[in-house]
Amino acid sequence: MHKQVNPLISDRIQEIRHKYLTQVSDTSHSKIWSSVSEKEDYITVTIVIPSKGCSWALSDNGGCSVCGYVNDSSRENQIPVTKIEDELRRLIIEAKYNKPLELQIFNSGSFFDKSDVPEELRNTIIDLIISSGQIIKLSIECRPEFILKEKTAIKEILKRLSNIKLEIGIGLESSNNAILLDCWNKGTTLEKFESSLIYLQSIGVEVKSYVFIKPPFLSEQEALRDSIKTVFDAKQMGTDVISINPCNIQNGTLIYELFRKDEYQPPWLWTVLHLIKIANEIAPNIKIICDPTAAGKERGAHNCGKCDKIVLKLIEKAVQREKLPENFSEICSCYLNWEILMNTPWESFRTRKLSKLRKLNPLKE
Ligand code: SF4
Ligand SMILES: [Zn+2]
C-alpha cells in the first residue's frame, strides 16, 4: 500500500495554497473561457468552466505541487448552472459549424467529482451535447479515484452519448510512485491510474494520458528520463493518446515558490523536443499531442531566447512526425549548453547559475 502524502511536502503546499487563495478570495471575475480551432476534417471547441475547484487542491493536503488551476475556479461563488447553460447553448448549439465538432469541456479538476461539478451541471452539459447534433467527440478530464467511484455514472453518460465518442484525460504525470508522492503530491498512484484506464477502455472510453516534464526537485536530466519512462509505461498500459505537458509556473504553488527563490527552472525546449522525438519511436501508433503553455517565456519551457520560436516549430513538426534536422547544434549554440546540462545530475541545486547557462555562448565564454 502506497502512502498518499508526504507531510514534508504536502504541509508546505497547503500553507502556500491557503495563503494565496485567501489573497485571491474574490472569485467574482471567474468566467467561462472558450476557443475554436479548425483542423482539416473537424473543428475543436474548447470550453473551460470555472467549476467549484479541484477537490484535491482544496483539500487539507493542498493539491499538486505544480498546479494553480484552482486559483481561477469559482469556489464558494459558484456560477449558476443557467449561466453556464446559456453560454454552452451559444457555443455548441446556436453557432453552426461547417465541419463535425470535437468538444473539449475542461473544468481544471474532475468532471465526475460531484463536489466540483454538481450532478445538475453535469447533466445539463450532457443534455446540451446530445441536442447539439454537431458533436462527434467529447473530451473531459478526471482524477482516477472519481473514475473508479463513478463507474455507474460514466456508463450512463456513455449510453446517453450513443455514437458520440467519449475521451477522458487522466493526469498520469509520472509513472514513478516516488515522484508522484515526493515531487508532485499527486495523491494518487500508478496503480490507480492503470485500474481507471483498464475500466474505461473496457466500456469503450478512450484514454488520454497527461505526461509532465519536470516536476520540482528533479534535474533536467532526471526529468527527461522520468518522462521517457512514463511515455513508455503509458504505451505499455495501452493509452489511446499521450499529451505531453512541460511545466509552466503558476501562482500560488510550491513550484512558484521554488522558482522565485531560484531553486527551480522550467524545462528547456530542447528537452521537450527530445522527449517527443523519443516518444514517436517508443509509441509509433499512439497519437502524441504537445501544446506547451507559456512556451518561450520565462515561466514556461524555453531556450536561450534566440532560438525559441524555431524550436517550437520543430516541436510542432515532431508532433506531426515530420522529419527533423539531423544536427540540432547547428540550429543554435545553446544546444551545446543543454548538452552540458544533461550531464549535470545535480542541477536543481544550482539553478541560478544554470538559468544563465541558457544565454551563454559556449564558443565565446
Ligand atoms: S493537477 Fe489536477 S488533480 Fe492536481 S491540483 Fe491540479 S486540477 Fe487538481
Ligand atoms: Zn538557443
Q: Is 54 in the pocket of ligand 1 (CB under 6 A)?
A: yes
Q: Is 170 in the pocket of ligand 1 (CB under 6 A)?
A: no
Q: Is 254 in the pocket of ligand 1 (CB under 6 A)?
A: no
In the chain, alpha helices (H): 7-23, 55-58, 81-89, 119-132, 144-149, 151-161, 177-179, 190-202, 220-237, 254-260, 269-282, 308-319, 334-341, 351-357
Residue 362, domain member (yes or no)? no
Ligand 1: residue of 67, 111, 183, 293 to mutate (most ligand atoms within 8 A of CB) is 67
pLDDT at 266 over 60: yes
Residue 215, domain member (yes or no)? yes
Residue 365, domain member (yes or no)? no
pLDDT of 349 reads: 47
Which ligand does the CA of 268 lie closest to? 2
Mean pLDDT confidence for 6-15: 95
- Overall number of domains in the chain: 1
Residue 145, domain member (yes or no)? yes
Residue 294: half-sphere exposure toward Cβ, Cα within 13 Å: 13
CA 68 to ligand 2 center in whole angstroms: 29
Q: How confident is the model at residue 241 (pLDDT cuts 50, 70, 90)?
A: very high
Q: Whose CA is nearest to atom 2 of ligand 1?
A: 109
In DSSP notation, 13-41 reads HHHHHHHHHHHT---TT---EEEEEE-SS
Residue 1, domain member (yes or no)? no
CA 331 to ligand 1 center in whole angstroms: 36
Q: Please state the pTM of the whole predicted model.
A: 0.93
Residue pair 279/244 in contact by the 8 Å Cβ criterion: yes
pLDDT top residue among 52 and 300: 300
- Encode pLDDT of 90-109 as tens digits: 999 998 889 999 999 999 89
Q: Which atom of ligand 1 is nearest to the CA of 108?
A: 7
pLDDT at 292 over 50: yes
pLDDT of 365 reads: 41
Q: Which atom of ligand 1 is nearest to the CA of 63?
A: 5
Average pLDDT, the chain: 92
Distance of alpha carbon 335 from alpha carbon 361, whole angstroms: 10
Q: Is 108 in the pocket of ligand 1 (CB under 6 A)?
A: yes
Residue 364, domain member (yes or no)? no
SS3 state of residue 46: strand
Containing domain of residue 73, as a range? Answer: 7-357
Q: Is 66 in the pocket of ligand 1 (CB under 6 A)?
A: no
Q: Is 67 in the pocket of ligand 1 (CB under 6 A)?
A: yes
CB-proximal residues (5 Å) to ion ligand 2: 303-304, 306-307, 332, 334
Query: Which H helix or E strand runs over 208?
Result: strand 206-213
Of the listed ranges 73-87, 145-159, 163-177, 239-253, the least confidently predicted one is 73-87
Mean pLDDT confidence for 122-130: 95
CA 220 to ligand 1 center in whole angstroms: 22
- Encode pLDDT of 344-363 as tens digits: 766 654 555 555 667 665 44
pLDDT of 361 reads: 56
pLDDT top residue among 3 and 106: 106
Q: Is 112 in the pocket of ligand 1 (CB under 6 A)?
A: no
Residue pair 26/66 in contact by the 8 Å Cβ criterion: no
Mean pLDDT confidence for 135-146: 98
Q: Whose CA is nearest to atom 6 of ligand 1?
A: 67
pLDDT top residue among 141 and 344: 141
Residue 275, domain member (yes or no)? yes
Cell of 77: 461563488
- Encode pLDDT of 174-203 as tens digits: 999 999 999 999 999 999 999 999 999 999
Distance of alpha carbon 113 from alpha carbon 21, whole angstroms: 21
Q: How confident is the model at residue 243 (pLDDT cuts 50, 70, 90)?
A: very high
Of the listed ranges 31-45, 149-163, 300-314, the least confidently predicted one is 31-45
- What percentage of the chain exceeds 70 in pLDDT? 93
CA 349 to ligand 1 center in whole angstroms: 26
pLDDT at 126 over 50: yes
Mean pLDDT confidence for 246-265: 95
Q: Exposed (0-12), middle (13-18) or buried (19+): which is 59, by Cβ within 10 Å?
A: middle
Q: Is 354 in the pocket of ligand 1 (CB under 6 A)?
A: no
In DSSP notation, 132-152 reads HS-EEEEEEE--HHHHHH-HH
Ligand 1: residue of 21, 75, 143, 211 to mutate (most ligand atoms within 8 A of CB) is 143
CATH number at residue 69: 3.20.20.70
pLDDT at 24 over 50: yes
Q: Whose CA is nearest to atom 4 of ligand 1?
A: 64
pLDDT of 358 reads: 72
Q: Is 315 in the pocket of ligand 1 (CB under 6 A)?
A: no
Residue 363, domain member (yes or no)? no
Mean pLDDT confidence for 299-326: 97
CA 224 to ligand 2 center in whole angstroms: 19
pLDDT of 357 reads: 63
